Amino acid sequence: MDQKTTNPDPGDNHQNMESLLAAEGFGNIDSPVQGETRQGTIASIGVSQILVSIGTKSEGIITGKEFEAIPQDVLAAMKVGQVIDVYVINPEDQNGNVVLSINRARDEASWKEAEERKTSGASFDSEIIGYNKGGIIVPLGGLRGFVPSSQISLTRKAGISGDNPDQKWSKMVGEKITVRVLEVDRERRRLILSERAASTETRESVKDRILEDLKEGDIRTGRVTSLADFGAFVNINGADGLVHLSEISWDRINKPEEVLKVGDEVKVKVINVDREKKRIGLSIRQLLDDPWSKTVAHIQVGQLVEGKITKLAKFGAFARLEGDIEGLIHISEIAEKRIEHPKEVLKEGDVVTLRVLKIDAENHRIGLSLRKVDSTAYSDMDWQTLMDQMEDDGKKK
């Protein structure tokens, strides 16, 4: 009987190989892949490296720059046996080690969280940890997110003052903040956050709240947001108020640009609050010393003064007094008889003695009279003025 030769089944070889690997401790090996994040258990912590068991024959290693990059507080809290996330930098280096990183694992987890939050639109609470010239820095996990100035809430933005980043943002460091993820770009390591998107406030709601709090006479600090021919808009605590051209300066100006520019920080006085029309009237000049009042301090009603006629109009004549103050002689105060026009009695350039009839400090107006210069109604005042003048002359001698 012929003896038959049987060929081995290929499947038997495969089973034998698996058995051999298992016997040598290589069974169920899940080989690490570069760029993946996986969990491992700390096997040992040395002065310059950490060994982490990640299910391979040998432990993975965290050493060199990756070890040095671990924050000291994180390193101090690590213990043997602790389960941590690690990132595979190299599945096998020249020494056969799996090179790992803790920081990159945290970084990866943070980017993943950022992408999930952007997709969901969910807000999260954090803290302002820094700033640059364009806005503030807010962390998300191990990442540094950026909140541009345009994305800071109106309420927080209302408190900004100063011209440089230190003046604008430094006081905010350490403050709590709620933000939403607007943009995630891993390649450019760009993470843009927004406080405004996370807030339920609107410009109108902010203005309504401020209108409720404001009252006439309040003094606030604001910032010029825009200029128009008729005045300047100043933002106070998130709401714009108008400083009319006449309320910018005591000096006569033709345009706000002569004394203000956008971005200027100014003190303003609230002179009108119209809650129905949602309008706020402000004044800058009412917080400044009125030079006109100082100039006319030596003038009193009834006093005789010398003036130079500067302009004739149908209703009267203007005269410039000492100190470059201009007063009006109404046509009814020019002559005893009725005249149709001041030119019947006066001409520009005439220097005449006039009587002060009225001083309107609020409107910066002085009423003068030519016909009452010799009025007996003021004889006592004129006599006393003459006596005072003679006494002063005597003291000078």
Write the DSSP assignment of 241-255 as a string of letters. EEEEGGGT-SS--SS
Question: With left for phi above 0 and alpha for psi between -120 and 50, is residue 222 left, alpha or beta?
Answer: beta
> Is residue 202 in a domain?
no
> Is residue 4 in a domain?
no
Distance CA 144, CA 250 (A): 49
Same domain, 72 and 152: no
> Is residue 370 in a domain?
yes
Same domain, 281 and 368: no
> Is residue 260 in a domain?
yes
> Is residue 113 in a domain?
no
Same domain, 282 and 300: no
Distance CA 44, CA 188 (A): 35
User: How many distinct structural domains can be found in the chain?
Assistant: 4
Q: What is the pLDDT along the chain (397 residues), one digit of tens a residue?
A: 444 444 445 444 444 444 444 444 444 556 888 888 888 999 999 999 999 998 877 688 998 888 888 888 888 899 999 998 898 999 888 888 899 988 888 888 899 999 999 998 888 999 999 999 889 999 998 899 999 988 988 778 766 777 788 888 898 999 999 999 999 998 899 999 999 888 766 666 667 777 788 889 999 888 898 899 999 999 887 778 999 999 999 888 899 999 999 888 899 999 998 888 888 999 999 998 887 877 888 888 888 999 999 999 999 999 999 878 899 999 999 998 999 999 999 999 999 999 999 998 878 889 999 988 887 767 666 666 666 666 666 565 5
Last residue of a domain, one of 107, 132, 162: 107
Q: Dihedral (C-alpha) 153, 156, 161, 167: value to the nearest 10 degrees?
A: -100
Residue ranges making up the domain that contains 186 = 121-194
Name the 3-class secondary structure at 87.
strand
pLDDT of residue 212: 81
Same domain, 281 and 364: no
Phi, psi values for residue 10, rounded to 5°: -55, -30
> Is residue 8 in a domain?
no
Last residue of a domain, one of 159, 194, 229: 194
Q: 102: closest CA among 86, 126, 113?
A: 86
Burial category of 2 from C-beta neighbours within 10 Å (exposed 0-12, middle 13-18, buried 19 and up): exposed
Distance CA 193, CA 129 (A): 14
> Is residue 95 in a domain?
yes
Burial category of 357 from C-beta neighbours within 10 Å (exposed 0-12, middle 13-18, buried 19 and up): middle
Same domain, 233 and 253: yes
Same domain, 306 and 270: no
Same domain, 381 and 349: yes
Query: Does the reported pTM lie above 0.75?
Result: no
Laid out side by side, the sheet with 123-127 consists of 123-127, 176-185, 190-194, 143-148, 135-140, 130-132
CATH of the domain at 310: 2.40.50.140
Same domain, 283 and 304: no
Evaluate whether 244 touches 281 at the Cβ level (below 8 Å): yes
